[in-house]
Amino acid sequence: MIRLTDLTKRYGPTTAVDNLDLELRPGQVTGFLGPNGAGKSTTMRLILGLDAPTSGTALIGGTPYARLRHPLRTIGALLDAKAVHPGRTGRDHLRALARSQRIPAARVAEVLEIAGMTSAADRRAGTYSLGMSQRLGIAAALLGDPQALMLDEPVNGLDPDGVRWIRTLLRSLAAEGRTVFVSSHLMSEMEQTADRVVVLGRGRLVADEPMRDLLAAAPTGSLVRGPDLRPLAAAFAGAGYDHGTLVVPGVPPAEVGARAFALGVEIHGLQAAGSSLEDVYLRRTAAVAQFTSAPTTKETGR
């Protein structure tokens, strides 16, 4: 278990993490979300003792990282996939880490196979693509067979096969009773992977909820498809119709289907339409996003 209590980090006048209270529990994947500059990476650095908190504590199993006797056996982490000596092979990088923690040398071959890096293990890390570096970093995080795993944007640079591998790996590790803490900007992946969602905004906790509850509380409605749904659209205030697709917010499919039948409107598809994690996230962080883009227009050069 990872426990953050009143965790605060200031850099001069800037507060990167603001009185953060958080408990990361075993047996689940916790997705860590937030806009750029929200304080996610700083929080992870504080957990690993790479930055000293201004106040508060970050404990792993009740102990600060710096006091762990065998850190890699307790928590595996990947914060920067390229933080490897470019002249060292992937295998030698893992061997050095294993020796520093008295981890059996045989474990190196095991994690290389888990990460799909066996065939590239004897190449210099400086020749690796970003996706290969991510795989090596995850192999390093798994090296000590830790009870907690913390990954910062682990799917960056991975191909679709790699993305699916990460998703399956994280779910399996949580199913074994481990604490899994992962940050990502890919909402669709987090929606499929995380059991719980923690959202930061400007260093403060915006949300900490089970994924199921977060999505269930979002507005729902109906999605309808058909050749001409304009009469049905006119029957519901606030409905949106575009090229054969109709969205009716706040109205369940049964009611929409009954109205379509009464109006004699032909439909080819009818299903519940709930908000995605991306929709929920954007609503929750709209007031705390530090960097926002201007609306796009069809006109340019002005």
Helices (H), the chain: 40-47, 71-74, 90-100, 106-114, 130-142, 160-175, 187-193, 211-216, 230-234, 253-263, 277-285
Task: Enumerate residue ranges in the chain where pLDDT < 70.
Answer: 291-302
pLDDT of residue 39: 96
Q: What is the pLDDT of residue 291?
A: 67
Question: Which backbone phi and psi does 163 adopt, to 5 degrees?
Answer: -65, -45
CB 120 within 8 A of CB 92: no
SS3 49: coil
H/E stretch holding 294: none
pLDDT of residue 299: 43
Residues in the chain, overall count: 302
Using DSSP, state whether 266 is helix, strand or coil: coil
CB distance 210 to 191 below 8 Å: no
pLDDT in tens, 161-205: 999 999 999 999 999 999 999 999 999 999 999 999 999 999 999
Per-residue pLDDT, 172: 98
Q: Is 143 exposed, middle or buried (0-12, 13-18, 19+ CB in 10 A)?
A: buried
**Is there a contact between 151 and 182 (Cβ–Cβ < 8 Å)?**
yes
pLDDT score recorded for residue 293? 56
H helix runs in 115-229, sequence order: 130-142, 160-175, 187-193, 211-216
Query: In this predicted structure, what is the pLDDT of residue 300?
Result: 43
pLDDT at 4: 98
> Which residue pairs from 23-28 have beta carbons closer than 8 angstroms and sit at least 24 positions apart in sequence?
24/148, 24/179, 24/181, 25/1, 25/179, 26/1, 26/147, 26/148, 26/177, 26/178, 26/179, 27/174, 27/175, 27/177, 27/178, 27/179, 28/174, 28/179, 28/180, 28/195, 28/196
* C-beta separation of 40 from 200 below 8 A: yes
Predicted local confidence at residue 232, as pLDDT: 95
Domain 2-209, CATH among 3.40.50.150, 3.90.1150.10, 3.40.50.300, 3.30.2350.10: 3.40.50.300
**Alpha carbons 216 and 253: distance in angstroms, whole number:** 16
What is the reported pTM? 0.83
| Dihedral sign (CA 41, 42, 44, 50) | positive
CA distances to 43, 50, 107, 253, 299 from 192, in Å: 24, 30, 30, 24, 37
The pLDDT score that the predictor gives to residue 292 is 60
